[in-house]
């Protein structure tokens, strides 16, 4: 029974990983669960065993937000106050390089009005804002509200620069 549960978890993760790639490449509306199944090397009915197309996007977004939260938490837990912001920036740059599809997926999801997707995006950005904002306050940064707003805006500009292959738009450190 444990092996079957483990296999199901692995297959579920494979489906989400495939969905992230497919949705990022061709967009949520154009993508099909058949394309996700093909990328994951499974049958389409097996995808539906776990997900609807919408719930698959929500889970994909959740994975992408968790990755950022975990990377930022490592920086927050291990950085001196004077290194906090630069550490967070480096962590995000690493995510952008290693998990480009997840960032592209988030960018696309910003334009999708469906309530569950909008809620997943709001929850993710709110978690990042709160995590980083609390870290800035704990580090004693003056005007932490402005600092968090600038930090988030910088991240969004980095996303746009990456998506358009315009590195000259990347904010300077």
DSSP state of 83: G
Burial degree of 161 (CB within 10 A; 0-12, 13-18, 19+)? middle
Residues of the chain with pLDDT under 70: 1-6, 172-173
Per-domain residue ranges for the chain? 2-169
pLDDT digits (tens, 9 = 90+) for 37-64: 999 999 999 999 999 999 999 999 999 9
Predicted confidence (pLDDT) per residue in 14-44, tens digit? 999 999 999 999 999 999 999 999 999 999 9
How many Cα atoms sit within 13 Å of 172 on the Cβ side?
A: 1
Interhelix angle 115-138/84-98, rounded to 10 degrees, is: 150
The whole-angstrom separation of Cα 72 and Cα 125 is 13
User: Which CATH class name applies to 2-169?
Assistant: mainly alpha
């Amino acid at each position: 029974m444990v092996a079957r549960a483990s296999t199901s978890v692995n297959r579920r993760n494979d489906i989400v990983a495939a969905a992230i790639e497919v949705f990022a490449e061709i967009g949520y509306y154009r993508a099909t669960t058949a394309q996700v199944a093909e990328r994951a090397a499974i049958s389409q009915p097996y995808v539906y065993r776990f997900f609807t197309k919408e719930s698959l996007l929500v889970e994909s977004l959740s994975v992408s937000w968790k990755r950022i939260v975990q990377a930022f938490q490592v920086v927050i837990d291990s950085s001196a106050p004077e290194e906090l912001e630069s550490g967070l920036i480096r962590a995000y740059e690493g995510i952008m390089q290693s998990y480009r599809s997840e960032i592209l997926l988030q960018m696309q999801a910003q334009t999708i009005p469906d309530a569950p997707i909008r809620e997943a995006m709001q929850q993710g950005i709110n978690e990042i804002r709160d995590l980083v904002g609390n870290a800035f306050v704990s580090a004693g940064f003056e005007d932490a509200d402005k600092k968090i707003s600038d930090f988030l805006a910088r991240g969004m500009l980095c996303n746009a620069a990456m998506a358009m292959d315009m590195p000259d738009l990347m904010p300077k450190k």
